[in-house]
């Protein structure tokens, strides 16, 4: 992977954005792209028309080369372009810039990403302009508050379909003309081009579309009814709640290869990672994840697209609001009425863990001085915590006031930009009253309150983080076991201590996740849960139990052996495949290696999974999730081989692509396959999914050659697309292979800074995280990581990921110290 320019570019500073906003008004962009002339580069001819107060400024541009630049009719020396910035000496009034440049197709999921489908050799392109990527496609004033309309003209191979933010027409073979868009921020601009399989529908006057690679056309056809149905249901509900119609013309949902995020809310053309088109059987929870993602991106069409944050420090508003509305609308109007249970398993710990790290930050007011630093706060706090807080606010205000304020916000700032202050002013004017205390304590103060039961004193104690004092009231439900059954009541916490009567019974705090706080069960509750879980029939309550347990384990407050006991106790009655899908991998990766006898703990997890495979209804997704866990915990090569060959598969389990590769990866971990067999499996089914899983399996083999193979991808010596790079990191660090990976601990800290020369943005940060030596549980590795963090000149995204990974490593060492093996 290479950067889109030969020298590092500058990230826009907030002060620079303020100055440029005061100086300029952008009238529009006219962009002509030639995607047909080369597989490596494309021609970009852009005309930017804007008004200025007069004076110097700059435009952002990251080309391979520049053919010509003309500003207000005069030629511009192309050598004035330095580090992605082209200086402009504007005149008062109208200005026009024309740039004819050659740009590079990228393979890191940003800019204009081009990939080749290994299944059929066809090429696919999509645009991802988030943060600093738009200037690698066209010159632009790359900041969210200089919105403008766009008109695109695209030349593409004649067998390609091209979709953009506005409706487009193929006026002659290979030539596409697009209508002018509504005013958009630069980071929303996209094009999706290639021999995509396209499906269309319509609803309530809105043209709908779906597209995916030709090789997965049959899978898109199979999923289309569900996707179109959910989209229509969500449109109806958003129109009902907001009273404002979707304003961006067509609504196309493009499932594209090698996409970094889950999805991107580009107006008119939302892009999704294409593993969300299912080529193998998946669990109900995975389908809920897709449903909430669809609803999340639709919520963005209002919150984010009609009204966009003025600067990146308010990006949380986009994500928190869409996260809350995506879950709510999915639960309320689609077939997935258990979306909140899924959210408890899938998202809660993501946010809570992030909020306890040294890198925690306020939900709002993150002090994002530039775009790249803002990207580091694009995390579980911005999504899960912010969503939880907005859900609490909605519960306090009620729908009438909550949505009246939101509608006022959309109306006042339609197609413009706004701040958190603007939104909260709209809520206050709608009847919310003074929200300054709420914003100060909940949104502008980092970290979670810890709420614990002091059974002996008969109180619940609320303690804010020492470094982030706050006075947060909490209203939450508690569950107390009485005669083997759970009784719930509401508890209001307004001070440091709140009286309760727990007696000697199991007592769970906030099992329904009514508030945002760190809660965990005490020893009496843990002991009682082993008998109570088998009779607990409330799925959401069970999710709350597991989040209590996971928080306690994260803070070395529960023994690994107790967690395994709870898993064995609860799994037989579990009817949510989300519980299996999320709890089992966590137990395998985090709990079993720290148990007194790791091999025994892994066997117990495997036996529990196999028991569930047998007891679950044949063919159910609950059985499927249990079988996936059984494969990933098996240490018996004979058992795995019998499954791979289809000889003794459980009734209800069919061997599809996903399961075949899951078994092969596990055989690779055990050293019970070889490179020839893995290559043969890839050759037999050369899909994009197979290529990624093949990479994971190759890196998982327990020999020195495999680790060197993976490391060459980390350093960039071997250039691979983003998904394969991540898979190599996953396979690199395997528990039980420390004798092979130990030499790479020191090399990680030595080689990581140099990866900045090979990749940038999202992939740079993800690579730092996935290749971190997570299995090296030693004080020496922690010390080396801390020394690395303190070194000068580190890329901010790299430092942030190492900080977070180091915190995780320290916590695992703390668990080992608190509960030693002997």
Tell me the chain's radius of gyration from C-alpha atoms.
27
Closest CA to 752 of 699, 701, 698, 806: 806
Question: The dihedral of CA 273, 348, 389, 230: what is its sign?
Answer: positive
Q: Which helix (H) or strand (E) holds 193?
A: strand 191-194
CA distances from 231 to 202, 238, 242, 252, 267 (A): 10, 10, 16, 10, 15
Sheet holding 497-499, edge to edge: 497-499, 459-463, 449-454, 517-519
d(CA 705, CA 694): 15
DSSP lists the bridge partners of residue 13 as: 370
CB contact at 8 A, 244 and 275: no
Tokens of 513: 């996740």
Do the beta carbons of residue 208 and residue 174 sit within 8 Å?
no
Sign of CA dihedral 744, 746, 751, 753: positive
Q: One of 110, 258, 265, 297 is an active-site residue; which one?
A: 297
Report d(CA 386, CA 322) in Å as an integer: 10
Distance CA 511, CA 497 (A): 19
Q: Residues 662-665: contacts with CB within 8 Å, 24+ apart?
A: 662/628, 662/631, 662/632, 662/693, 663/631, 664/693, 664/697, 665/693, 665/696, 665/697, 665/700, 665/731
User: Quick check: 103 and 86 in contact, CB under 8 A?
Assistant: no
Alpha-carbon distance of 692 to 277, in angstroms, equals: 16
Burial of 75 (0-12, 13-18, 19+ CB in 10 A): exposed
Alpha helix (H) residue ranges in 671-703: 675-684, 688-700
Helices then strands, each counted (H, E), the chain: 29, 28
Question: Could you tell me the strand order of the sheet in which 485-493 lies?
Answer: 485-493, 474-482, 507-509
Q: What is the DSSP string of 782-796?
A: HHHHHHHHTSTT--H
Active site residue 746: no
Q: Which sign does the torsion angle of CA 293, 586, 727, 767 carry? A: positive
In 310-340, which positions are buried (b, 16+ CB within 10 angstroms) versus exposed (e)?
bbbbbbbbbbbbbbbbbbbbbbebbebebbb
Q: Coil, helix or strand for 120?
A: coil
Q: Dihedral through CA 784, CA 789, CA 792, CA 797, nearest 10?
A: 130
- Partnered with residue 309 across adjacent β-strands are 418
Measured distance between the N- and C-terminal CA atoms of the chain, rounded to whole angstroms: 47
If one counts every other C-beta atom within 10 angstroms of the C-beta of residue 723, the result is 23
Its sign, for the CA torsion 531, 537, 542, 545, is negative
Backbone angles phi, psi at 147, to 5 degrees: -70, 155
Nearest of 796, 817, 816 to residue 378 by alpha carbon: 796
Q: What whole-number distance in Å separates Cα of residue 412 and Cα of residue 425?
A: 11
Catalytic residues: 297
């Amino acid at each position: 992977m290479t950067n889109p320019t030969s020298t590092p570019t500058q990230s826009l500073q907030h002060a620079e954005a303020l100055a440029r906003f005061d100086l300029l008004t952008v009238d529009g962009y006219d962009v002509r792209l030639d995607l047909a002339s080369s597989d490596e580069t494309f021609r970009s001819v852009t005309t930017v028309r804007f008004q200025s107060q007069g004076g110097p400024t700059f435009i952002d541009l990251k080309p391979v080369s520049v053919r010509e630049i003309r500003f207000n009719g005069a030629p511009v020396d192309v050598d004035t372009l330095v580090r992605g910035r082209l200086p402009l000496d504007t005149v008062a009034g109208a200005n026009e810039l024309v740039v004819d440049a050659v740009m590079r197709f990228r393979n890191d999921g940003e800019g204009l990403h081009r990939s080749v489908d290994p299944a059929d050799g066809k090429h696919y392109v999509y645009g991802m302009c988030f943060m600093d990527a738009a200037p690698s496609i066209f010159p632009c004033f790359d900041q969210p508050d200089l919105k403008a309309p766009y008109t695109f003209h695209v030349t593409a191979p004649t067998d390609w379909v091209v979709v953009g933010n506005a409706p487009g027409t193929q006026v002659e073979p290979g030539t596409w003309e697009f209508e002018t868009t509504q005013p958009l921020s630069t980071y929303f601009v996209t094009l999706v081009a290639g021999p995509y399989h396209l499906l269309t529908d319509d609803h309530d006057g809105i043209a709908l579309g779906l597209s995916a690679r030709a090789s997965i056309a049959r899978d898109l056809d199979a999923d289309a009814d569900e996707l179109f149905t959910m989209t229509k249901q969500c449109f109806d509900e958003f129109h009902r709640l907001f009273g404002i119609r979707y304003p961006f013309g067509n609504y196309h949902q493009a499932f594209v290869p090698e996409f970094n995020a889950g999805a991107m809310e580009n107006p008119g053309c939302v892009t999704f990672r294409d593993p969300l088109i299912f080529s193998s059987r998946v669990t109900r929870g995975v389908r809920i994840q897709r449903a909430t993602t669809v609803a999340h991106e639709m919520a963005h069409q209002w919150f984010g697209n009609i009204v966009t944050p003025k600067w990146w420090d308010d990006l949380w508003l986009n994500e928190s609001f869409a996260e809350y509305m995506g879950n709510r609308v999915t639960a309320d109007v689609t077939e997935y009425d258990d979306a909140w249970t899924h959210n408890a398993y899938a998202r809660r710990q993501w946010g809570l863990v992030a909020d306890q790290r040294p890198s925690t930050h306020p939900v709002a007011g993150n002090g994002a001085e530039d775009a790249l630093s803002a990207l580091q706060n694009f995390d579980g706090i911005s999504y899960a915590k912010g969503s939880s807080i907005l859900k609490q606010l909605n519960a306090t205000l009620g729908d009438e006031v909550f949505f009246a304020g939101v509608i006022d916000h959309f109306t006042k700032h339609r197609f413009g930009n706004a701040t958190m202050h603007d939104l909260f002013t709209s809520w206050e004017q709608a009847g919310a009253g003074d929200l300054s205390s709420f914003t100060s304590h909940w949104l502008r103060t980092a970290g979670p309150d810890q709420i614990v039961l002091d059974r002996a004193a008969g109180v619940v104690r609320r303690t804010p983080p020492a470094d982030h004092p706050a006075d947060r009231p909490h209203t939450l439900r508690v569950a107390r076991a009485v005669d083997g059954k759970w009784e719930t009541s509401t508890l209001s916490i307004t001070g440091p201590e709140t009286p309760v009567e727990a007696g000697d019974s199991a007592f769970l705090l906030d099992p329904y996740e009514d508030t945002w706080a760190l809660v965990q069960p005490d020893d009496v509750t843990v002991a009682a849960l082993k008998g109570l879980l088998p009779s607990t029939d409330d799925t959401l309550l069970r999710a709350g139990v597991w989040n209590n347990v996971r928080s306690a384990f994260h803070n070395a407050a529960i023994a690994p052996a107790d967690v395994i006991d709870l898993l064995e106790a609860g799994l037989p009655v579990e009817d949510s495949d989300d519980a299996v899908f999320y709890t089992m991998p966590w137990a395998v990766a985090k709990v079993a290696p720290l148990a007194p006898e790791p091999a025994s703990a892994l066997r117990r997890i495997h036996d529990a999974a196999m028991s569930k495979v047998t007891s679950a209804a044949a063919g159910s997704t609950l059985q499927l999730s249990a079988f996936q866990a059984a494969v990933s915990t098996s240490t018996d090569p004979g058992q795995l081989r019998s499954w791979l060959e289809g000889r003794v598969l459980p009734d209800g389990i069919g061997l599809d692509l996903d399961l075949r590769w899951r078994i092969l990866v596990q055989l690779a971990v055990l050293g019970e396959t070889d490179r020839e067999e893995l290559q043969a499996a890839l050759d037999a089914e050369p899909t994009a999914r197979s290529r990624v899983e093949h990479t994971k399996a190759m890196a998982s083999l327990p020999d020195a050659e495999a680790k060197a193979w993976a490391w060459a991808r980390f350093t960039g010596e071997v250039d691979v697309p983003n998904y394969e790079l991540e898979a190599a990191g996953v396979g690199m660090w395997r528990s039980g292979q420390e004798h092979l990976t130990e030499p790479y601990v020191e090399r990680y800290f030595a080689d990581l800074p140099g990866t900045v020369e090979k990749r940038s943005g999202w992939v740079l940060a993800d690579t730092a995280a996935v290749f971190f030596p997570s299995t090296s549980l030693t004080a020496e590795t922690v010390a080396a990581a801390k020394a690395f963090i303190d070194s000068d000149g580190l890329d901010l995204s790299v430092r942030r990921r190492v900080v977070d990974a180091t915190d995780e490593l320290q916590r695992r060492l703390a668990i080992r110290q608190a509960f030693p093996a002997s």
